[in-house]
Protein backbone atom coordinates (compact mmCIF):
# COMPACT_ATOMS: atom_id res chain seq x y z
CA UNK A 1 0.00 0.00 0.00
CA UNK A 2 1.29 3.45 -0.88
CA UNK A 3 2.05 5.75 2.04
CA UNK A 4 1.34 8.87 0.06
CA UNK A 5 -1.47 10.28 -2.00
CA UNK A 6 -1.06 12.45 -5.07
CA UNK A 7 -2.54 15.90 -4.80
CA UNK A 8 -2.85 18.36 -7.66
CA UNK A 9 -3.27 22.08 -7.15
CA UNK A 10 -5.95 23.67 -9.34
CA UNK A 11 -6.74 27.36 -9.00
CA UNK A 12 -4.76 27.27 -5.75
CA UNK A 13 -6.99 24.58 -4.32
CA UNK A 14 -5.81 21.06 -3.48
CA UNK A 15 -7.52 18.17 -5.26
CA UNK A 16 -6.87 14.55 -4.45
CA UNK A 17 -6.16 12.36 -7.47
CA UNK A 18 -8.61 9.58 -6.79
CA UNK A 19 -8.09 7.59 -9.94
CA UNK A 20 -6.19 7.60 -13.23
CA UNK A 21 -6.94 5.92 -16.50
CA UNK A 22 -5.48 5.76 -19.96
CA UNK A 23 -7.91 5.75 -22.84
CA UNK A 24 -6.93 5.89 -26.49
CA UNK A 25 -3.48 7.11 -25.55
CA UNK A 26 -4.75 9.95 -23.38
CA UNK A 27 -4.34 10.16 -19.64
CA UNK A 28 -7.38 11.12 -17.56
CA UNK A 29 -7.57 11.97 -13.88
CA UNK A 30 -10.54 11.91 -11.58
CA UNK A 31 -9.90 14.47 -8.86
CA UNK A 32 -11.81 15.43 -5.77
CA UNK A 33 -11.41 18.64 -3.81
CA UNK A 34 -9.84 18.39 -0.37
CA UNK A 35 -11.38 21.72 0.59
CA UNK A 36 -14.95 21.03 -0.38
CA UNK A 37 -15.48 17.31 -0.75
CA UNK A 38 -18.51 17.78 -2.96
CA UNK A 39 -16.39 19.33 -5.73
CA UNK A 40 -14.83 17.10 -8.32
CA UNK A 41 -13.53 17.21 -11.84
CA UNK A 42 -12.28 14.97 -14.60
CA UNK A 43 -9.05 16.22 -16.15
CA UNK A 44 -7.18 15.40 -19.28
CA UNK A 45 -3.40 15.40 -18.95
CA UNK A 46 -1.25 16.21 -21.97
CA UNK A 47 2.03 17.75 -23.05
CA UNK A 48 2.27 21.29 -24.38
CA UNK A 49 5.48 23.14 -25.15
CA UNK A 50 7.45 20.67 -23.08
CA UNK A 51 5.20 21.08 -20.05
CA UNK A 52 2.64 18.72 -18.62
CA UNK A 53 -0.68 20.49 -18.41
CA UNK A 54 -4.22 19.58 -17.44
CA UNK A 55 -7.68 20.84 -18.27
CA UNK A 56 -11.23 19.69 -17.72
CA UNK A 57 -12.64 17.36 -20.29
CA UNK A 58 -15.31 18.45 -22.71
CA UNK A 59 -18.93 17.72 -21.88
CA UNK A 60 -19.32 15.35 -24.81
CA UNK A 61 -16.64 13.07 -23.36
CA UNK A 62 -17.86 13.21 -19.79
CA UNK A 63 -20.24 10.30 -19.87
CA UNK A 64 -17.83 7.99 -21.60
CA UNK A 65 -14.91 8.75 -19.31
CA UNK A 66 -17.04 8.52 -16.19
CA UNK A 67 -18.18 5.07 -17.20
CA UNK A 68 -14.61 4.02 -17.82
CA UNK A 69 -13.59 5.19 -14.38
CA UNK A 70 -16.38 3.11 -12.94
CA UNK A 71 -15.31 -0.03 -14.75
CA UNK A 72 -11.69 0.51 -13.72
CA UNK A 73 -12.73 0.97 -10.15
CA UNK A 74 -14.77 -2.20 -10.20
CA UNK A 75 -11.89 -4.17 -11.68
CA UNK A 76 -9.52 -2.76 -9.07
CA UNK A 77 -11.79 -3.87 -6.28
CA UNK A 78 -12.24 -7.30 -7.70
Partner 1 sequence: MKNDEFELYYKFTRKLQKEKQIRDIDRKMLDIANSSRKRRRFDEQTEKISKQKKTRKFYKTRARALVFIISVSLGLGVGTKALYDEVAPIITVYVQNEADNYTLAEWFGYYNVSDEGYFLDSQIKREVNDGWFNEGPMPFDYTDPENLSITEDGRKVGAIVDYYNGFNRYLRSNIDKGYYETIYTQMERLASIGKDPNSIDSLYTFEELTEMLGKEEIKGMGVN
CB 49 within 8 A of CB 36: no
DSSP 35: S
Collapse the DSSP code of 68 into the 3-class scheme (helix H, G, I; strand E, B; otherwise coil) and give the result: helix
Cβ closer to partner 1: 22 or 67? 67
Of the candidates 20, 25, 28, 55, which one interacts with partner 1 according to CB under 8 A? 55
DSSP 3: S
Q: Is 74 in the site for partner 1 (CB under 8 A)?
A: yes
How many other C-beta atoms are found inside a 10 Å radius of the C-beta of residue 56? 13
Of the candidates 20, 26, 39, 60, which one interacts with partner 1 according to CB under 8 A? 39
- Footprint of partner 1 on this chain (CB under 8 A)? 2-11, 16-19, 30, 32-34, 37-43, 45, 48, 51-56, 62-64, 66-67, 69-71, 73-74, 77-78
Amino acid sequence: MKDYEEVIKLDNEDFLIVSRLNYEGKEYLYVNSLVNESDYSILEEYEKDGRTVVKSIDDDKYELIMNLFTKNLINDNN
